[in-house]
């Protein structure tokens, strides 16, 4: 029983940590992109979305190379935190932050860009700083988008397979998350177990998306009533 | 004294043009900016607020440079002592009426001041409501309170009453006058309404394609525009029959006799103006 649930628990643990960190990193990213004008802004926006179009194996390959002890990122984590990124849970977290970043940043940024410019202008004329305006005016007015962004980032991290397999391999209890476990069970011809994992992930995906739609519809309909 | 000398290239619906304004405003006065849509009125007050950066020129307020291209001075909106009221109110929907005012209230100020302002505009019973349940007039009064709460040196009003009905406009005009007499800010109001301008402002400019074409006391400007009293009524033709057209003008259906040539020329749906130089004066006071 434990061995069955282990990949699912690992997936949820990975997705929870990644979503929490992504919310913080994504908010900072959205703050910079929405409150400042600078050269290279379009490039920064494009970089966020690269994981959406790049084949997961390509992303996984580059991450694997950079996670090596001799590489910049790998040696940084090795020397500073004594953490080996390749084929470790920590490596999966870092990778998740990269491949799920667009799912956090894009909905939040799009919602903020859809707010009237006068919100920002009005706060500025009241003497409020950019960070105060962002935290007190912009963020509270895009709550549905934040919920959607968190849920989508969580769900996408749970479902990612290619990148995880490339950089994490298939180590039980360390990197064998649910999506990799399905692949593993199919390889071993254990179709019943693969079936169970797949069904759980399928229902989880439907549930998550339904909850997002219900939440957003509630927000919209309450706004309409007023 | 507020000294404006600003130039800014603008993109209008009729093509590019340059906003080029030199204007000295006596502090503590209410002045109006009028002109056709796209003449640069909103851009001008956004430049004063620091929300829009001019290409060149200077803005001096009580001898302090808010903007000076030569000396590379450009104070951010946060550092300019201003209040700004937008045409569409821009109350923050995530905050209640009171929270909107609390957000604007400078640190260490007595929150009781919020109650005083709400009482002044007779909206104290709506303090805990979110802005989206308020009417346009109520929203604009709160927006006025929020802009004045920091007691700014300059209050910029961008067509604040344009979306309101006549009755509410009058109330808001009185609120503006009350706030002006209490706090004595310099008020710049963008407006199309001659009655409103005459009622509120001591000086006005008319902008056309970014240039001041007229600068004077409002009453003098409007007197120049009409050297004899003529009353003009605009309306739309809703029907025409033998020797008459039926108009919808001044919220009423009116039947006007016309010549056969006019009858042939005019069509249903046309917008027309009727000018009359005969009039009777009746007081609307109760």
How would you classify the pairing of strands B203-208 and B30-35?
A: parallel
Share of chain A above pLDDT 70, in %: 96
Average pLDDT over residues B15-39: 89
Residue B173, C-beta contacts closer than 8 angstroms, at least 6 positions apart: B161, B196, B199, B200
> What pLDDT does B227 receive?
56
Nearest to B90 among A118, A129, A226 (CB): A118
Q: Indicate if the pLDDT at residue A38 is higher than 50.
A: yes
Q: Say whether A223 and B106 touch across the interface (CB within 8 A).
A: no
Nearest to B90 among A122, A140, A223 (CB): A122
Cα separation, B11 vs B26, in Å, equals: 30
What are A116-169's pLDDT values in tens digits? 999 999 999 999 999 999 999 999 999 989 998 999 999 999 988 889 988 988
Instruction: Decide if domain B2-223 falls under CATH 3.40.50.300.
Output: yes
CB pairs under 8 A between A and B: 53
What does the DSSP 8-state code read for residue A135?
A: I
Q: Say whether A116 and B133 touch across the interface (CB within 8 A).
A: no
Report how far Cα B166 is from the mean position of its chain's Cα atoms.
14
Average pLDDT over residues B20-45: 90
Neighbours of B227 (CB within 10 A): 7
* Nearest chain A alpha carbon to B84: A125
Show which of residues 174-213 on chain B sit within 8 Å of chain A, judged by CB atoms: none
Residues of B whose CB is below 8 A from A140: 92, 94
> What pLDDT does A224 receive?
43
Query: Helix crossing, A178-187 with A2-35: angle to 10°?
Result: 140
Q: Say whether A125 and B103 touch across the interface (CB within 8 A).
A: no
Q: Say whether A124 and B76 touch across the interface (CB within 8 A).
A: yes
Average pLDDT over residues B3-20: 88
Tokens of A24: 């913080």
Nearest to A137 among B46, B92, B132 (CB): B92
The structure tokens 């304004």 sit at B21
Numbered ranges of CATH 3.40.50.300 in chain B: 2-223
Alpha carbon of B229: minimum distance to chain A alpha carbons (Å):
41
Kindly list the distances between the CA atom of residue B99 and the CA atoms of A182, A187, B127, B175, B182, in Å, as whole numbers in the listed order: 52, 60, 8, 21, 23
Q: Indicate if the pLDDT at residue A19 is higher than 60.
A: yes
Cα separation, B90 vs A184, in Å, equals: 56
Tokens of A203: 């229902």
Cα separation, A57 vs A166, in Å, equals: 7
- Taking Cα atoms as reference points, which of A83, A103, A79, A105 lies closest to residue A93? A83
Show which of residues 84-113 on chain B sit within 8 Å of chain A, judged by CB atoms: 84, 86, 88, 90, 92-94, 103-104, 106
Average pLDDT over residues B158-182: 82
Rg (CA), chain A: 20
The structure tokens 């706060």 sit at A123
Residues of A whose CB is below 8 A from B84: 121-122, 125
Strand partners, B17: B10
Does the beta carbon of B76 lie under 8 angstroms from any beta carbon of chain A?
yes
> What pLDDT does A3 receive?
83
> What pLDDT does A225 receive?
39
CB B151 within 8 A of CB B183: yes
> What pLDDT does A219 receive?
64
What does the DSSP 8-state code read for residue B88?
A: T
Q: Indicate if the pLDDT at residue A1 is higher than 70.
A: no
Residues of B whose CB is below 8 A from A116: 88, 90
| Least trusted range by pLDDT, from B65-69, B103-107, B271-275 | B271-275
Q: Say whether B51 and A128 touch across the interface (CB within 8 A).
A: no
Q: Say whether B77 and A129 touch across the interface (CB within 8 A).
A: no
Tokens of A170: 């298939």
What are A172-203's pLDDT values in tens digits? 888 888 899 999 899 899 999 999 999 999 99
Average pLDDT over residues B258-278: 81
Q: Say whether B103 and A136 touch across the interface (CB within 8 A).
A: yes
Cα separation, B143 vs A119, in Å, equals: 12
Q: Say whether A121 and B77 touch across the interface (CB within 8 A).
A: yes
Average pLDDT over residues B59-72: 91
Numbered ranges of CATH 2.40.50.140 in chain B: 232-285
Contacts of range B100-104, beta carbons closer than 8 Å, 24 or more positions apart? B100/B131, B100/B142, B100/B146, B101/B142, B101/B145, B101/B146, B101/B149, B103/A126, B103/A128, B103/A136, B103/B146, B104/A126, B104/B146, B104/B147, B104/B149, B104/B150
Alpha carbon of B128: minimum distance to chain A alpha carbons (Å):
15
Does the beta carbon of B162 lie under 8 angstroms from any beta carbon of chain A?
no
Q: Indicate if the pLDDT at residue B72 is higher than 80.
A: yes
> What pLDDT does B236 receive?
85
Instruction: Decide if domain B232-285 falls under CATH 3.40.50.1170.
Output: no
The ipTM, to two decimals, is: 0.78
> What pLDDT does B224 receive?
66
Report field, pTM of the whole predicted structure over 0.90: no
How does residue A226 score in pLDDT terms, banded at 50, 70 and 90? very low
How would you classify the pairing of strands B186-190 and B30-35?
A: parallel
* Nearest chain A alpha carbon to B129: A226
What are A85-103's pLDDT values in tens digits? 888 999 999 999 999 999 9
Residue B193, C-beta contacts closer than 8 angstroms, at least 6 positions apart: B161, B162, B169
- Taking Cα atoms as reference points, which of B54, B53, B55, B73 lies closest to residue B63? B73
How does residue B120 score in pLDDT terms, banded at 50, 70 and 90? confident
Q: Indicate if the pLDDT at residue B214 is higher than 90.
A: no
Q: Say whether B51 and A124 touch across the interface (CB within 8 A).
A: yes
| Least trusted range by pLDDT, from A20-29, A55-64, B254-263 | B254-263
Share of chain A above pLDDT 90, in %: 60
Interior angle at CA B215, CA B211 and CA B221, nearest 5: 120
Cα separation, B131 vs B208, in Å, equals: 35
* Nearest chain A alpha carbon to B52: A121
Neighbours of B77 (CB within 10 A): 23
How does residue A61 score in pLDDT terms, banded at 50, 70 and 90? very high
Cα separation, A54 vs A57, in Å, equals: 8
Cα separation, B72 vs B58, in Å, equals: 10
Nearest to B132 among A118, A122, A226 (CB): A226
How does residue B151 score in pLDDT terms, banded at 50, 70 and 90? confident
Per the prediction, chain B carries an average pLDDT of 86
Domains of chain A: 6-216 (1.10.3720.10)
User: Which residue of B92, B100, B129, B139 is the best one to mutate when testing the A interface, meaning the one whose CB has the most A CBs within 10 A?
Assistant: B92
Per the prediction, chain A carries an average pLDDT of 89
């Amino acid at each position: 029983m434990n061995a069955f649930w282990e990949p699912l628990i690992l997936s949820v643990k990975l997705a929870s940590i990644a979503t929490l960190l992504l919310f913080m990193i994504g908010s900072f990213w959205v703050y910079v992109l929405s409150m400042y004008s600078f050269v290279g802004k379009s490039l920064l926006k494009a970089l966020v979305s690269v994981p959406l179009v790049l084949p997961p194996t390509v992303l996984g390959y580059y991450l694997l190379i950079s996670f090596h002890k001799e590489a910049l990122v790998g040696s940084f984590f090795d020397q500073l935190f004594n953490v080996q990124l390749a084929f470790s849970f920590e490596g999966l977290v870092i990778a998740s932050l990269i491949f799920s970043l667009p799912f956090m940043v894009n909905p939040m940024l799009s919602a903020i860009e859809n707010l009237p410019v006068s919100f920002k202008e009005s706060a500025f004329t009241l003497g409020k700083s950019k960070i105060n305006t962002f935290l007190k005016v912009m963020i509270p007015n895009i709550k549905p988008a934040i919920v959607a962004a968190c849920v989508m980032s969580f769900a996408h991290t749970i479902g990612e397979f290619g990148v995880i397999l490339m950089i994490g391999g298939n180590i039980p209890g360390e990197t064998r998350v649910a999506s990799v476990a399905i692949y593993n069970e199919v390889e071993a011809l254990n179709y019943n177990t693969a079936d169970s994992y797949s069904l759980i992930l399928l229902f989880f995906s439907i549930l998550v998306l339904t909850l997002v739609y219900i939440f957003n519809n509630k927000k919209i309909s309450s706004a309409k009533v007023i | 004294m507020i000294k404006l000398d600003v130039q800014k290239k603008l993109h209008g619906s009729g093509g590019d043009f340059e906003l080029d304004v030199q204007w000295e405003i006596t502090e503590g006065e209410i002045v109006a900016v009028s002109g056709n849509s796209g003449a640069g009125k909103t851009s001008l007050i956004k430049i004063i607020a620091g929300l829009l950066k001019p290409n060149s020129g200077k803005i001096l307020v009580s001898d302090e440079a808010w903007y000076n291209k030569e000396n590379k001075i450009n104070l951010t909106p946060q550092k300019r002592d201003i209040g700004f009221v937008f045409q569409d109110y821009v109350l923050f929907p995530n905050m209640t009426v009171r929270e909107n005012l609390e957000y604007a209230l400078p640190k260490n100020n007595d929150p009781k001041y919020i109650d005083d302002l709400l009482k002044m505009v007779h909206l104290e019973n709506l303090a805990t409501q979110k802005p989206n349940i308020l009417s346009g007039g109520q929203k604009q009064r709160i927006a006025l309170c929020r802009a004045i709460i920091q007691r700014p040196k300059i209050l910029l009003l961008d067509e604040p009453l344009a979306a309101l009905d006549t009755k509410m406009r009058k109330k808001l005009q009185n609120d503006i006058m009350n706030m002006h007499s209490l706090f004595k800010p310099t008020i710049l109001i963008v407006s199309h309404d001659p009655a409103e301008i005459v009622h509120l402002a001591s000086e006005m400019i008319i902008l056309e394609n970014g240039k001041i074409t007229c600068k004077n006391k409002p009453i003098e400007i409007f007197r120049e525009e009409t050297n004899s009293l003529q009353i003009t009524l605009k309306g739309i033709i809703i029907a025409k029959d033998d020797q008459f057209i039926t108009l919808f003008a001044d919220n009423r259906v009116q039947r006007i006799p016309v010549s056969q040539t006019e009858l042939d020329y005019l069509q249903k749906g046309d917008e027309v103006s009727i000018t009359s130089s005969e009039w009777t004066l009746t007081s609307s006071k109760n």
